[in-house]
Amino acid sequence: MRIYLDNAATTPLDPEVFSAMTPYLLNHFGNPSSHHAQGRQAKSAIEDSRAAIASLLNALPEEIIFTSGGTEADNTAILSAVYGQGIDHVITTRFEHHAVLHTLIALQAQGKIKISFIEHDEQGNLDLEHLAFLLQTHGRSLVSVMHANNEVGNLNDIETIGRICQTYNALFHSDTVQTMGHHRFDLQKLNIHFLAASAHKFHGPKGVGFVYVRKGVKTTQLIHGGGQEGKLRAGTENIPGIVGLAKALQLAYQYLDEHQHHIQKLKQYTIERLLADVPGITFNGNSAIAHKSLYTVLNASFAVEGYAQNLLQRLDEQHISVSGGSACSTGASSHVLSALDAPTNRQHIRFSFSKFNTQNEIDQVMQILTQLYQSIAA
């Protein structure tokens, strides 16, 4: 049996989510744009899902727009700010996912925007005074700051950032792909204009997510065609995916406290075992600081000079799935670890946990890891 500790890359589908989706794969296959009973049934499945998600986040149903996942949600938010709101200056961080960074870099290359980066310290903590300075010294801007980083787990204070954006009349987008379903949101209280989420990060299906767009914020249509999703996103909707997304989010929030407690304990246990058993272990960013990092992510740094690929590969051979960084940048060096100046002669491993992991699995991983590590380091 494999041990799966790569939940920041993707999570296994919850069987209850699968059960909720099955009728929409097998029986209720109508096209929601059709006017007959089967079409109407499909349409109400979408609208019920939208209302359920909105109510969990204290948002309005019309503020939730379904997308093909987190990447499209981030793109929609950024392009809406640029084309829908005329924004030509974007303030962001060096730690954003490529769904944000590559979108911004492409816009900058087309001459549409200028990008400014918020300064940070060696742990990756953002300098919010610098954010205020950037806002003071530029015209109306979009601020794009992720809630939790997918590689090291650093949490950003989106409440305070939202208040700073409000002071300077800036638009605020947050990539909440790693925290949605793992953290409670009250969107009436947060000054946030756009938020991106993806179902497969909280035991929902892949290929579906949503962008939250605050009521009154002008958007721009990225995918042209039919009038689906309030004319923002054309194409026949992914009904089983949307139903699965809503079910996954509902389950995530129903059991959030219980699962958070369980996962936090596993993460803490892993930290303690690594510190006790692996000489020279350190942690990247704020990964090992409970209140400054997401409880599902731990990024450990092993002093194994010259064996960079070995440890990861050998864990894989021992049926353990972990990752060296973001799943989306396989093969490339991590821009997040580079921004943190993480040493290149150490092996950095991301352990990311879910409600399905157990302490027994961590014990097995630690046993294999310490044996491997000793054999490599010898």
The pair of three-digit structure tokens given for residue 298, joined into one six-digit string? 């731990």
Q: Quick one: 238 or 282, whose CB is closer to ligand PLP? A: 238
Reported as half-sphere exposure (CB side, CA atoms, 13 A), residue 233 has a value of 22
Q: Among 75, 80, 141, 150, which residue interacts with ligand PLP (rule: CB under 6 A)? A: 150
DSSP, residue by residue, 210-251: EEEE-TT-----SB-SS-TGGGTB-S---HHHHHHHHHHHHH
When asked if residue 69 is in the footprint of ligand PLP (CB under 6 A), the reply is yes
At position 292, the amino acid (one-letter code) is K
Give the integer Cα–Cα distance in Å for 68 and 145. Answer: 21
Q: Phi, psi (5° rounding) for residue 256? A: -55, -50
The secondary structure of residue 233, as a DSSP letter, is B
DSSP letter assigned to residue 62: G
Query: Rounded to the nearest whole angstrom, what is the least distance from the CB of residue 375 to ligand PLP in the complex?
Result: 32
Measured from the CB atom, is 27 or 330 closer to ligand PLP? Answer: 330
Nearest residue to 278 (alpha-carbon basis) of 155, 368, 184, 179: 368
> CB-side exposure of 315: number of CA atoms within 13 Å?
27
Contact region for ligand PLP (CB under 6 A) — 19-27, 40-48, 67-75, 123-131? 67-75
What does the block give as tokens for 47?
Answer: 């609208």
Q: Is 165 assigned a catalytic role?
A: no
Q: Which of 89, 97, 346, 348 binds ligand PLP (CB under 6 A)?
A: 97
Q: Which is nearer to ligand PLP, 71 or 141 (CB)?
A: 71
Distance CA 200, CA 185 (A): 18
Residue 378 corresponds to which amino acid? A
Tokens of 374: 């000793």
Q: Per DSSP, what are the bridge partners of residue 117?
A: 92
> Which 318-377 residues touch ligand PLP, going by CB under 6 A?
327-328
Provide the minimum distance between the beta carbon of 88 and ligand PLP in the complex, in angstroms, as a whole number. 24
Interacting span for ligand PLP (CB under 6 A) from 64-72, 80-88, 110-118, 213-221: 64-72
**Two structure tokens written together for 372:** 């491997």
Between residues 68 and 301, which has the closer beta carbon with respect to ligand PLP? 68
Q: For residues 179 and 282, which CB has a smaller minimum distance to ligand PLP in the complex? A: 179
Whose Cβ is closer to ligand PLP: residue 150's or residue 270's? 150
* One of 70, 162, 181, 244 touching ligand PLP (CB under 6 A): 70
Cβ of residue 80: shortest distance to ligand PLP, in angstroms? 16
Per-residue x/- marks for ligand PLP, 164-193, CB under 6 A? -----------x-xx---------------
Could you give the maximum distance between any two Cα atoms of the chain, in Å?
A: 71
Give me the least distance between CB of 146 and ligand PLP, in Å please.
6
Q: Does 80 bind ligand PLP (CB under 6 A)?
A: no
Binding ligand PLP (rule: CB under 6 A), the pick from 17, 59, 99, 142 is 99
* Helices vs strands, H then E, count in the chain: 12, 12
**H or E segment and range at residue 173:** strand 171-175
Pairwise CA distance, residues 122 & 282, whole Å: 14
* Residue 1, SS3 per DSSP: coil
Closest-approach residue to ligand PLP (CB): 70
Q: What is the closest distance, in whole angstroms, from the C-beta atom of residue 246 to ligand PLP in the complex?
A: 16
CB of 190 to ligand PLP, least distance (A): 18
Altogether, the residues listed in the chain come to a count of: 378
* 308 or 328: CB nearest ligand PLP: 328
User: Please, which residue, 68 or 357, has the CB nearer to ligand PLP?
Assistant: 68
CB 169 within 8 A of CB 189: no
Considering the candidates 217, 328, 368, 377, report the single residue annotated as catalytic. 328
Single out the residue of 124, 162, 205, 209 in contact with ligand PLP (rule: CB under 6 A).
209
Q: Is 71 a binder of ligand PLP (CB under 6 A)? A: yes
C-beta neighbour count of 108 within 10 angstroms: 13
Catalytic residue ranges = 328
Residues in contact with ligand PLP by the rule CB under 6 A:
69-71, 74, 97, 99, 146, 150, 175, 177-178, 198, 209, 327-328
